[in-house]
Structure 1
């Protein structure tokens, strides 16, 4: 009995019954649902409730059928010959009445199908929006964890901080380098980066035994991870203006900021 109840619960949670009510199931799925409805009162009750909810939804969102349905009906009936409409011919009138009922039924079904298709489309769109919100939440949660890690690194007691300052045409340049030697981590935060002429970028260098070693090209405000191994050997940090994409050798004549390492800024 417990296994049967579990099977019923899994069926109700699968969404198959919901799709059956709005006509979004295959022939094989129809057979499965109809068997469950016939065999289990709980499924029958859930099916009746869904039918009532769909009926209520249809009433609340009722739309008058388009005029073309009436026109199609009249176009089918009016062309009949007058002798076919003779009042004494009972069989002809029954045939005409049957034709009218059939046309009304077909037209109504066609219209209901269009309405049902619209309902299914709304469900699909709502589901898509929900999935997008879930993805946005997961993305925001990931970004939050990344920010927390960055903040923990920056605020750690053994993380050294170096503020590099400069001015480009009276506009401030501000780059902060964070270096934690025990953890073997280093990164930079770019607070202000004045625009340069087309074809130019800023470049960050470390002075290692008198040789300029490139650490990063600075062309946006995104934080960047830099080599802690290089900083371990470096005596100072330098920023120069180079060609777009960076250079292999530093243009010392275009130096815009410099700071010694292993000192409190």
Structure 2
């Protein structure tokens, strides 16, 4: 992250306020020691905050302000550098050196500036809280929009993954050597379908899975549905209902079928019937 990016991120202001995580506080503190530009920017932020937030009667001269800022906020300075975590700086010969002592305040002025430091610190804390609240209020709509966008993308990803899983399952069934391919054609004499209508299903006797792969059938009224049947020993077995749209039926798994010698389609009331309506028999295919 460049200095410009760090400044625009608002983290230096939060560092001055002392509200970052311990790790982030430490990282920025180390960066301030190693990078004079970062230390200078932190110093500017602290000065501006005190100048702007402190009452006029507690404004400090620059010489006193330099000494009091460290006492109020405990932050790193460029000159002199205050060591992190209380560890004194290391000299060139490898020995630790003590930091330069801070000149004590004049006895007559100390109570005044101590009070000034206290008030300035309290005002700064309150001001930063308000500033952060305003900043959050401005960013909250953007954050909400980003969360909504992320959730939409996550939902789309889940739908795509589900679709890919279903397609892979269908492909695995069709590639299985035991799967039977059954083509259903129009039953002669019926008044529902014509010669150009067709239907294709795959059925695996071992897994009992029945897959409707394709169907080109006329659309029905809203009160009717096509119903697929498996025929075994002359008895019909319900294989589920389906609806074509624009003459095409969506590829989908139907009910599991344990045994079958043929498959047929009838038109039934919406929801299906327990037994097929033979007068509405329109499609059939044998294994």
**Is 1:248 aligned with 2:248?**
no
What residue number does 2:72 align with?
Answer: none
Asked whether the equivalents of residues 188 and 226 of structure 1 are also in contact (C-alpha less than 8 Å), the reply is: no
Which whole-Å CA distance do the structure 2 matches of 1:189 and 1:143 have between them?
Answer: 15
Of 128-137 and 238-247, the range deviating more from structure 2: 128-137
Q: CA deviation at 1:162?
A: 0.7
Residues 166-199 of structure 1: CA distance to partner in whole angstroms, max 9, x if unpaired? Answer: 3836585432211122344222224323111342
Q: CA deviation at 1:255?
A: 0.7
Q: Normalising by structure 1, what TM-score?
A: 0.53
Which whole-Å CA distance do the structure 2 matches of 1:140 and 1:199 have between them?
Answer: 32
What residue number does 2:20 align with?
Answer: 33
What residue number does 2:141 align with?
Answer: 121
Asked whether the equivalents of residues 204 and 237 of structure 1 are also in contact (C-alpha less than 8 Å), the reply is: yes
- Do the aligned partners of residues 114 and 225 (structure 1) sit closer, same or farther apart at CA in structure 2, a change above 3 Å counting? same
Q: Normalising by structure 2, what TM-score?
A: 0.50
Asked whether the equivalents of residues 231 and 263 of structure 2 are also in contact (C-alpha less than 8 Å), the reply is: yes
| Aligned mate of 2:216, from 180, 192, 212 | 192
- Do the aligned partners of residues 246 and 132 (structure 1) sit closer, same or farther apart at CA in structure 2, a change above 3 Å counting? same
Structure 1 runs not aligned, ≥5 long: 1-17, 24-29, 53-109
Structure with bigger helix share is: 1
- Residue 168 of structure 1 aligns to a residue whose secondary structure is coil
Asked whether the equivalents of residues 206 and 238 of structure 1 are also in contact (C-alpha less than 8 Å), the reply is: yes
Map 1:20-59 onto structure 2 (within 5 A): 32-33=19-20, 40=27, 41-42=29-30
Asked whether the equivalents of residues 201 and 242 of structure 1 are also in contact (C-alpha less than 8 Å), the reply is: yes
**Is 1:205 aligned with 2:229?**
yes
| Aligned mate of 2:171, from 151, 163, 174 | 151
Aligned residues: 178
Map 1:1-265 onto structure 2 (within 5 A): 32-33=19-20, 40=27, 41-42=29-30, 117-166=137-186, 168=192, 170=194, 172-220=196-244, 221-222=249-250, 223-229=252-258, 232=259, 234-261=260-287
- Do the aligned partners of residues 42 and 235 (structure 1) sit closer, same or farther apart at CA in structure 2, a change above 3 Å counting? same
- Residue 134 of structure 1 aligns to a residue whose secondary structure is helix
What residue number does 2:116 align with?
Answer: none
What residue number does 1:62 align with?
Answer: none
Residues 209-249 of structure 1: CA distance to partner in whole angstroms, max 9, x if unpaired? Answer: 222221111224331233231xx2x3211111111211112
Asked whether the equivalents of residues 241 and 255 of structure 1 are also in contact (C-alpha less than 8 Å), the reply is: yes
Which whole-Å CA distance do the structure 2 matches of 1:44 and 1:150 have between them?
Answer: 60
- Residue 33 of structure 1 aligns to a residue whose secondary structure is coil
Q: Which has the larger Rg?
A: 2
Asked whether the equivalents of residues 37 and 44 of structure 1 are also in contact (C-alpha less than 8 Å), the reply is: no
Asked whether the equivalents of residues 209 and 253 of structure 2 are also in contact (C-alpha less than 8 Å), the reply is: no
